[in-house]
Structure 1
Amino acid sequence: MSRALLVIDVQESFRQRPSWELISDPDVAGKAARLVDHARAKGDLVVWVLHSEPGTGTVFDPELGYVRLQPGLDPRPGEPVLTKTSHNAFTTTGLQQLLTERGVREVVVSGIRTEQCCETTARLASDLGYRVTFVIDATATNPIEHPEAPAGRSNAEILADPRTLSVEDVLTRTEYALAGRFATVVRVDELTGAPVTA
């Protein structure tokens, strides 16, 4: 086993936030499930990663019960489920040790959010010497507000602000930043060998 699929933060927490209605791909769990099926068929390791913010009272606080995988994502016995408290999947988990013990040299990255936890994990994995495949359409994100935008705005106000970075722009920026530097950027169909339809 030399490759591992990382399914990062595809968790119920995100669906509990008002911003979920602006998510770039509401079916990100379905795309992740396709990757999981493919990885299992190839004999690759599947690693599940959840994000937790204990004691915050937010949807990422495990006390509220939302720090769990979205429906349709079901780890099998022997598939590690890690909980992180940092943006990347390495710093606050035993992921690197786990991958080393299993002889993994390549990681495939999917999950939520594209430019945050997924991209940060991909960059760190590359710096640690892993070959990284980033499945851009098996990641999802939200529009990003301008740093000086007031807090607490509605989704409509966020979208109406011309300074807001659209989900399309976020995805494109991540692809440009990673490709050829930190990762090979692919689509689900390319990785799984599924026929591409027009």
Structure 2
Amino acid sequence: MSRAALVVIDVQESFRQRPIWAYGSNPDIVGQVDRLVDAARGRGDLVVWVLHAEPGTGGVFDPALGHVRLIDGLAPGEGEPTLVKTSHNAFTTTNLQQLLTLAGVRDVTVCGIRTEQCVETTTRVGADLGYRMTFVTDATMTFPIPHRDLPETAGLAEVLADPRTLSNEEIVRRTEYALAGRFATVRTVDEVTGAIPARPRS
């Protein structure tokens, strides 16, 4: 009988050090991830924590600055591995596949930051490796993406004011369309945890 795993990707302090954090798509990312973790632990699933590092860069992902750690409110339980990656996906530069294989995992649920970058890329690679992937959109977070022609020196205000900037809503919509039926099953936190969905706001 195969086992399932939850992989939590890059929900780390590094992102909170950037001004664009205030414009993120999911202010309750910690709460949503925590719900998935609690449910996974309750089912006896493997929980794997992944952090992103860019050593020697001097940026917010440089471990030397101390931000490559989980955001407050999240913490690995006993026996839950924490992996540090240097690639966009969680497989290429870690032993994640080995861990999943040894644990007999075939079903992998992913969540984290950013929706269309590390979480989506991990989902695509996982699918290609033969895992049955579940992508929990409302337990991911992303930020507006500037147009490719906007100078790298552009400030946050300029990015947000540019009509070509891709909004959080557009990113999430595009990601779900790209993944569903191809690389993953797209689900919500309520669906994965078995919770009763909240009433729509009027």
Report the equivalent of 2:173. 172
TM-score of the superposition, structure 1-length normalised?
A: 0.98
What is the CA-CA distance between 1:172 and the residue it aligns to?
0.3
Tell me the distance in 2 between the aligned counterparts of 1:67 and 1:165.
Answer: 27
AA partner of residue 177 (structure 2): Y
Post-superposition Cα deviations, 1:87-131, rounded to whole Å, max 9, x if no partner, equal 000000000011000000010010000000000000000000000
Q: How many angstroms does 1:152 deviate by? A: 3.0
Instruction: Show the counterpart of 1:84.
Output: 85
Residue 99 of structure 2 corresponds to 98
For 1:50-106, what per-residue CA distance to the aligned partner results, in whole angstroms no more than 9, with x for missing partners? Answer: 000000000100000000000111101210100000000000000001100000001
Letter of the 2:60 partner, please give it. V
Contact between 1:142 and 1:167, CA under 8 Å: does it hold in 2? yes
Alpha carbons 1:5, 1:44 under 8 Å: kept: yes
Match in the other structure for 1:120: 121
Counterpart residue identity of residue 99, structure 2: L
**Which residue number in structure 2 is paired with residue 36 of structure 1?**
37
Q: CA separation in 2, counterparts of 1:55 and 1:70?
A: 22
User: 8 Å contact 1:137–1:187 — kept in the other structure?
Assistant: yes
* Cα distance in 1 for residues equivalent to 2:62 and 2:168: 26
The CA distance in 1 between the partners of 2:9 and 2:31, in whole Å, is: 14
Map 1:17-56; keep pairs closer than 5 Å. Answer: 17-56=18-57
Q: Residues of 2 paired with 1:27 and 1:53: CA distance?
A: 26
Secondary structure of 1:54 counterpart: coil
Query: Could you say which residue in structure 2 is the equivalent of 1:59?
Result: 60
Query: How many aligned positions are there?
Result: 198
Tell me the secondary structure at the aligned position of residue 178 of structure 2: helix
Which consecutive aligned stretches of 4+ in structure 1 deviate over 4 angstroms post-superposition? Answer: none
- Structure 2: distance between partners of 1:41 and 1:67: 27
Q: Is the 8 A contact 1:39 1:46 kept in 2?
A: yes
Q: Does 1:4 align with 2:5?
A: yes
Q: Which runs of no fewer than 5 residues in structure 2 stay unpaired?
A: none
Q: Is contact 1:7-1:110 (8 Å) kept?
A: yes
In the aligned structure 1, how far is the partner of 2:3 from the partner of 2:45? 7
Counterpart CA distance in 2 for 1:85 and 1:77 is 24
CA positional deviation for 1:197: 1.8
Gapped runs of 5+ residues in structure 1?
Answer: none
Whole-angstrom distance in 2 between the partners of 1:14 and 1:119: 17
Distance (whole Å) between structure 2 residues aligned to residue 99 and residue 7 of structure 1:
14
Write the distance in 1 (CA, Å) between the matches of 2:51 and 2:86.
Answer: 9
Question: Is the alpha carbon distance of 1:46 and 1:18 closer, same or farther for their aligned partners in structure 2, counting shifts above 3 Å?
Answer: same
* Matched position secondary structure for 1:105: strand
